Amino acid sequence: MAPITAVSDLDERPISGRQRYAAILVACGEFIDGYDLLVMGAALILIRPQFALSPQEVGLLGAAAFLGAMVGLLVFGDLSDRLGRRAIFIVNLVFFVVFSIASALVTTTAQLFLMRFLVGVGVGMDIPTSTAYLAEIAPRRRRGAMLGSLLNVMWTLGAMTSTLIALPLLALFGDAAWRWMLGLAAVPAVLILLGRQGLPESPRWLLARGRVEEARQAFAVFGIDATADMLVATPRRGSYAELLRPPYLNRVFWVGLWFTFNCFAGSIATIATPLVIKTVGAVGTNATMFFSASIWAVATVGVMISSTLVDRIGRRKLSYLSSVCFIACALLQSRFAETSPAALVVCFYGMALSGWSGNAILGWIWSSELFPTHLRGRSQGICNGACRLAISANIFLVPIALAGIGFGAYVGLLALLLVANVVNVACHPMLEGNQKSLEELAA
């Protein structure tokens, strides 16, 4: 029988009130991420005529925050492994506050692109740090729900809020509503910044840096009174070079590829919704905003479904279920959406529900739990960074595709990426990790 350590105790005991509080507070950062990344979809409906934007400019502005997030993920994924989780997920909120307000004050397209890019860098700071922190404090049996579903519930709520808030702001401020939509992200960022001040550093990260006494204090915050023999320090200093060679290169490649395909295809059903429904469905601005908000409400329901399934039926089965349903909806939409508004709407709801009931959370889980503590921020940086690049590419291509090959042909091509992901998951048993500790998975 293996000796009981503070880490194994954290893995096996029921979640404590303090763990739950820390998890919710960390996950709240994803509310801001979802709001900031998605608010441009609604804002562009108002910005486009004011700035006389071309399809390419619409695509670039929509993609700006996602490109910034990719840069932030790569840079701060590394720094979160070097400097700690807590330091980064406090600093990133300062980025949200400063550049959200600055976004509301711009006067040119170039200024707006730059400000949204820098907001995206703040988003990229938060993602690898928050995912690593949650993975490292979550009990094994709840890791999927906390790491994947909790973060994404907050993310979808932020996205939904970014669209819903547009309706009253539009009534109050008219064509200037987009400035308020962008600037108001600073308010929750300040509140979360204040709340995060009291959180301890990740005890697993402290042990990985050899800081045993600080780890003991962090464990105590989460209800574990660790004795000296329960604290096993494993000091290691990682790098991207270590991550990008065996034995981890294989995992980075396949998880990153899965993440890329899923984000490229899946973003059509949620992130690109305002532009698609406005163009293909030919509906008014208010109706577009309301429909987009309802799509995010459906996505939130999907994430809640995933939270009940991911640690019960396992990662791979959930991915199969999510992918097959999404593919079916995408193919139906490809065939009927451009001739039937009802098909366009129903299939959008179907893709949002099926995608967020599984696949939308699994990449976040795999890119954290399959890698050791000293590389976890970096693995999330590369894999989630690939996701953000894929979303950026899709957002840029959507207005061009709508004007070129048409929506039906485009969404049909996207379905093929999910077919490739089903094959990827079937070929890699390593992706089934819900029965093991982080240390066992990393090994």
Question: In tens digits, what is the pLDDT along the chain, a chain of 443 residues?
Answer: 345 688 888 888 888 888 899 999 988 888 988 888 778 877 887 888 888 888 788 878 888 888 888 899 899 989 999 988 888 877 888 888 899 999 999 999 999 999 999 998 988 888 888 888 988 888 888 888 887 788 888 988 888 888 788 888 888 898 889 999 999 988 988 888 888 888 899 998 998 888 888 989 998 888 888 776 677 767 777 888 999 999 899 999 999 999 999 999 988 877 667 667 766 655 666 777 778 778 888 988 999 999 889 888 889 999 999 999 999 999 998 888 777 778 888 888 999 999 999 998 898 889 988 898 889 989 988 998 888 888 888 878 887 887 788 888 888 899 999 999 999 999 998 888 666 677 776 66
- Domain locations in the chain as residue ranges: 6-442
Prediction pTM value: 0.82
The 3-class SS string of the chain reads CCCCCHHHHHHHCCCCHHHHHHHHHHHHHHHHHHHHHHHHHHHHHHHHHHHCCCHHHHHHHHHHHHHHHHHHHHHHHHHHHHHCHHHHHHHHHHHHHHHHHHHCCCCCHHHHHHHHHHHHHHHHHHHHHHHHHHHHHCCHHHHHHHHHHHHHHHHHHHHHHHHHCHHHHHHHHHHHHHHHHHHCCHHHHHHHHHHHCCCCCCHHHHHHCCCHHHHHHHHHHCCCCCCHHHCCCCCCCCCHHHHCCCCCHHHHHHHHHHHHHHHHHHHHHCCCHHHHHHHCCCCCHHHHHHHHHHHHHHHHHHHHHHHHHCCCCCHHHHHHHHHHHHHHHHHHHHHHCCCCHHHHHHHHHHHHHHHHCCHHHHHHHHHHHCCCHHHHHHHHHHHHHHHHHHHHHHHHHHHHHHHCCCHHHHHHHHHHHHHHHHHHHHCCHHHCCCCCCHHHHHC
Class of domain 6-442: mainly alpha
